């Protein structure tokens, strides 16, 4: 079901964020891409730290794969 079919049975941001999460996580399912989902806001510094750490991990994996070290 798309978001339009669901929006009348569930109200709020949770259904939307979980629909977006589902669509993004299935789009990266080829094994060459990594998806690190985070539900956060800009004022949650600990969560932002996790997001930056995961971004760094993705970049490191890209470089290691590029030079056939992974």
Residue 3 has pLDDT above 70, yes or no: no
Q: Where are the domains of the chain?
A: 1-30, 36-70
What does the pLDDT look like over 37-58, one tens digit per residue? Answer: 778 777 888 888 888 999 999 9
CA distance 54 to 60: 10
Q: What pTM, to 2 d.p., does this model score?
A: 0.53
Tell me how long the chain is. Answer: 70
């Amino acid at each position: 079901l798309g978001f339009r079919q669901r929006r009348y049975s569930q109200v709020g941001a949770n259904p939307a964020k979980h629909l977006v999460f589902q669509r993004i996580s299935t789009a990266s399912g080829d094994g060459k891409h990594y998806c690190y989902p985070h539900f956060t806001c800009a004022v949650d510094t600990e969560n932002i730290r996790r997001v930056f750490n995961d971004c760094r991990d993705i970049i490191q994996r890209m470089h290691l794969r590029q030079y056939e070290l992974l």
